[in-house]
Structure formats: structure tokens, C-alpha cells
Amino acid sequence: MPSDCIPFRDTNYFSSLICDYLDEKAELQPFYNRFPKLENFKDQIEEKKQSFSDENRKILVSALANQYKSVTISEATQENVELLKTKNTFTVVTGHQLNLFTGPLYFLYKIISTINLTKVLKEKHPENNFVPVYWMATEDHDFDEINYFNLFGKKIQWNRKDGGAVGRFDTKGLDKVLEVFSSEIGLGRNAEQLKLLFKEAYLEHSNLTEATRYLANRLFGAYGLVIIDGDDADLKQLFVPYVEKELVEQVSYAKVLPKTKELELQGYKVQVNPREINLFYLAEGLRERIIENEGKYFVNETDISWSKSEILKELSEFPERFSPNVMMRPLYQEVILPNLCYIGGGGELAYWFELKDYFDAVQIPFPMLLLRNSTLIQTEKQAEKIEKLNVSDTELFLKQHELINRKVRRISNININFDPQRKHLKKQFEEMYTLAEQTDVTFYNAVKAQEVKQLKGLDALEKRLLKAQKRKLSDHVKRLTTMQNELFPNQSLQERNTNFSELYLEYGEDLIPMLLKYLDALKGQFLVLKK
């Protein structure tokens, strides 16, 4: 399968913060621990080995065994869970929301990046073991972000009452979603496999956590992926000291806020702003912020309240009721896992950059941060059409009007570039300026105004000529526009919109093995894949 690599910066779809990080800009060094180069993992391994206890391993493995008790898992996954008991086993983690039927394509790219990195690490450090982990965001409460997926430009949506942690939602109503999905996806072997996968995941499991675990396990279990649910009483027991510190001392706010200011001073957009307390309270149908005011603690939008001693007693007895928000979830992850590296998208890495000083303050090793793989996949027919249109892979990433203008200029049989005329005009006015310097300022200004007017006139004529050529070459423009719209739905990256089912219809069971083969976790460039 031919492929092409494009620097992330050249795609114009990634922030300056992420591009500067990939370029290892010196000013960003205080915001992370080690850059994710293969040679840097040795020190990361030693640092994590020294800090992660045998007791934590024992509790982790026990919790995973309990979470997997009703799931049929592969030998590779079972072996990886067992390996987590040993001191020389480490994880590479990615996390994602419980998007319906995986949501956008990059769900796959995150996990594939994670699996592939563990393979590379095993080759480099054979004396150690490396386990790929998918962290399910079961405690998230933003249902509107996960209750749909896009198929052929249409939104397939699950409509139900919102409220509380999404992982606990029952799967009622998803039979109606399957009906819509089935009618849209058509017939054929690959289509039938997708329908069966949806049915088994969502209609044969009682809640969204179980459904997502089943789905991810079916897709990636053969590669040893371990799936973890942080909404677990035993795992949260390990996090109690950090939650107590948050409630009493509000450490995360004190350490993260200055870091956000530093990022802003360097001209970067801050992804997430910390709160005074970065915890939620969980109950049936409820996940609301915990607020402290004059020594009293409250659950936002409820009548629930405690004194300091009461909330610490609640934490001691029911740690599962305390849920970290986006600022504390990374710490929770690193406390309960022997983790070396977190793999995420640009937005995720942006908020991790705010956390370095917080991790240092609570003495937990800060993981390496790796940008997940990004890929544009072209089917065989699409690749052929692009070749006929004589458009390069890099040009495909241009804004649509820029792409069309460039292409029309290139294929037009007349020159749509008035730069020679502008140059000639400016030369003529140079002589006028020489004359104007011998008179008064009003004449000089009149010459200047006339030059500006005539240059604007040339700009207008050039635009009219370009517009006329677009009409003349309308068929070519239409084919070009259609092709870019197919590959960049809603003028955004394919991976941020398209569901994997569209590609599964094309590639079937070969889709994931193909991605595993061609994606290189440490490549650091945007990959274009063509069949």
C-alpha cells in the first residue's frame, strides 16, 4: 500500500503548541518530562519502576480480573493482565470517551498507536514487558459528545435522557439505532459483520461500559489490549490520599494555574482551566462538581453538603463516589498504572502540559506524552481520481478555495497572474514620485492615492479573470471539490468525522491489520494511505 508522510505543521490542522512540541522547542521543555524518543524510555522505565509498588500491582490485577469476569478474552490479553503482577511490566495508555460505535476514526488510531509502541519497546527492551491499555472514560458526563456517529455524511444518533456518568447508562433504545444503521449500511458480507458487531455490543450488554468493553475487545483483543474502567471502588481506594489532599489543600489549582499562565505568556491557547477543587461527586444519575466555601463542602446543584470531617469520612467509606475531573484524571491514571507513556490527540496533550508541576508536587512520575497517529485513507478509486486530477497529497490539505484557485491557475491556458503588470505599474509610479518630491505634499499624496487605486483595480481584474476561468473549467472544479469533500468531511480531517464502519465496508477484516502494519507510533508525521 503506497503511502506519503506530511509534517503535521504543513497540514494546517494542528495547533502551534503541538507543532512546537513536535519540533522540541526549548521553551516548552518545562511543561513535560521526557520527549517520546525511543532512547528516552530507558530512564522513564527506571523512574516508574522505583515508584510503583507491588501492592498497587496486586490491586490493579485483581480489579482487572473482576472487570473482565463476564468477558471472553484472548490469550494475549489474559497474558498481559497476568504480566502486570511483575515488577518488569509497564503500560502504554490511551484514553477515549465511550463514543457510540467508537465514534470518529481516531479511536482506532489511538489504540493502534498504543499497541504498536508496546511492540517497539519490547524489541528495544526485551528484558521488560509492555502492555497496551485503553482507558475507558466511563465517568464522563457529556452525553452529547458521545451519543452519535457519522455515516455517509449522516448523523446516527442515540436519543435518551441524560444524567450522571455515561458508563452507567443502560443500553435501552439502541435497538432503534441498529435499525437505522442497518438501513443505511446496506448489504454484503462486511455490512452484515458490522450489524452483528453492533448488535452483540449494544443489545446484548446492559450498560455503556460493558458494551464499549466488548466492542474494543472484539476489535483489538487479539493484539493483547487491556481495557480498564476507572469507575472502580478498589482502584479508587488507591487514589484516596490524593483526593484527600485535593479536598483539604487544593493542590492541583495551586500548581496548575501558574502553568496555564506560563503557556498563555508564550502565546498558546490554554486547553482547560483548573477549578479550586477538581473533583465530582458520583451517585445514581448524578455527577456534579464538589465546591468548598468557608470550610463547608457542597455538591453543585444539589442539597448535599458536608463539614470537612464529614467529607473525609465519606471519602474513606465510599471512595467510588469521588470522581476526578479532566485535571485530576491523568494523576489517577498514573497512580494506579505502571505507566510510561500517554498517547492522545492534540487537545489532550495540551492539557497534560499544564500538569507537570502538579505531578512533581505529589511525587508521581510524569509520563511521556506522545501524539497519536493521524491518517488520511484513500480508497483505490479515490487515489485514481486524485492522480487524474494531478493533485498532490499536500495540496489536498489546503483550504478548499486555496486548492481550487491554485488548480485553476495551473491548468488554465492563460496566465492568471498580474504580478508583471503590478511590477510595471509600480515602476511607472516611481517616476511620478520623483516628480512629486519636487512639489508639495498634497501632490505626493495624490500620486500615492492613484497608485493604490490602480493596484486595487488590477487585483479586482485578476479576481474577475480567475472567476471567469473557474466557470470555464467548472467540471474540473466540481470533481476537485467533490473529491476533497469526500476526504475532508465538513472541511475537517477524515479521522475527526468518519466512523470506522465506512472503511470496514471497503476493507473488511483487513482494516485493522493494515493500520497496524503501516502506522508508526514514533514517526511524528501525518500519514496518507492509498490502497
- Per-residue pLDDT tens digits for 406-424: 776 676 554 556 566 667 6
User: pLDDT > 90: what percent of the chain?
Assistant: 80
Checking if the pLDDT of 438 tops 90, the result is no
Q: What is the mean pLDDT of residues 221-229?
A: 98
Q: The domain containing residue 427 runs over which residues?
A: 380-493
Contact partners, residue 313, CB within 8 Å, separation at least 6:
none
pLDDT for the residue numbered 401: 82
Distances (CA, A) of 30 to 5, 25, 306: 29, 11, 38
Least confident of 109-123, 168-182, 255-269, 417-431: 417-431
pLDDT for the residue numbered 424: 67
How far from each other are the two terminal CA atoms of the chain, in whole angstroms? 5
Contact partners, residue 83, CB within 8 Å, separation at least 6:
89, 129, 131
Q: Give the confidence band of 404 by pLDDT, cuts at 50, 70, 90.
A: confident
- Give which of 109, 184, 100, 104 is closest to 489, Cα–Cα: 104
pLDDT for the residue numbered 419: 67
Kindly state whether residues 188 and 335 are assigned to the same domain: yes
Q: What is the mean pLDDT of residues 169-190?
A: 96
Kindly state whether residues 58 and 204 are assigned to the same domain: yes
pLDDT for the residue numbered 474: 60
Spatial strand order of the sheet with 322-324 comes to 305-306, 296-299, 286-293, 279-283, 322-324
CB 223 within 8 A of CB 130: no
Beta strands in 152-295 (DSSP E): 154-157, 226-229, 279-283, 286-293
How many residues belong to the chain? 531
Three-state DSSP state, 92: strand
pLDDT in tens, 291-312: 999 999 999 999 999 999 999 9
Kindly state whether residues 470 and 332 are assigned to the same domain: no
Sign of the CA dihedral running 457, 459, 463, 466: positive
Q: Whole-model pTM?
A: 0.89
In a domain, 393, yes or no: yes
Kindly state whether residues 426 and 348 are assigned to the same domain: no
pLDDT for the residue numbered 37: 97
Q: What is the mean pLDDT of residues 245-270?
A: 96
Kindly state whether residues 158 and 105 are assigned to the same domain: yes
pLDDT for the residue numbered 268: 97
User: pLDDT > 70: what percent of the chain?
Assistant: 92
Q: Give the confidence band of 442 by pLDDT, cuts at 50, 70, 90.
A: confident
Q: What is the mean pLDDT of residues 386-404?
A: 88
AA letter at 292: E
Judging by DSSP bridges, how do beta strands 129-136 and 89-96 pair with one another?
parallel
- Give which of 377, 393, 375 is closest to 525, Cα–Cα: 375
Kindly state whether residues 456 and 361 are assigned to the same domain: no
Kindly state whether residues 351 and 416 are assigned to the same domain: no
Checking if the pLDDT of 188 tops 60, the result is yes
Kindly state whether residues 59 and 203 are assigned to the same domain: yes
Number of CB atoms found within 10 A of residue 116's CB: 24
pLDDT in tens, 27-59: 999 999 999 999 999 999 999 999 999 999 999
Three-state DSSP state, 307: coil
Number of CB atoms found within 10 A of residue 430's CB: 10
Give the CA dihedral 314, 315, 318, 322, nearest 10 degrees. 120
Maximum mean pLDDT: which of 113-127, 149-163, 380-394: 113-127
Checking if the pLDDT of 388 tops 90, the result is no
pLDDT in tens, 201-217: 999 999 999 999 999 99
How many whole angstroms from its chain centre is CA 379?
23
pLDDT for the residue numbered 428: 74
> Any idea which residue has 486595487 for its cell?
456
Kindly state whether residues 442 and 339 are assigned to the same domain: no
pLDDT for the residue numbered 165: 94
Kindly state whether residues 361 and 387 are assigned to the same domain: no
Q: Give the confidence band of 450 by pLDDT, cuts at 50, 70, 90.
A: confident
In a domain, 441, yes or no: yes
Kindly state whether residues 363 and 420 are assigned to the same domain: no
Q: How many domains does the chain have?
A: 2
Checking if the pLDDT of 351 tops 90, the result is yes
Kindly state whether residues 88 and 216 are assigned to the same domain: yes
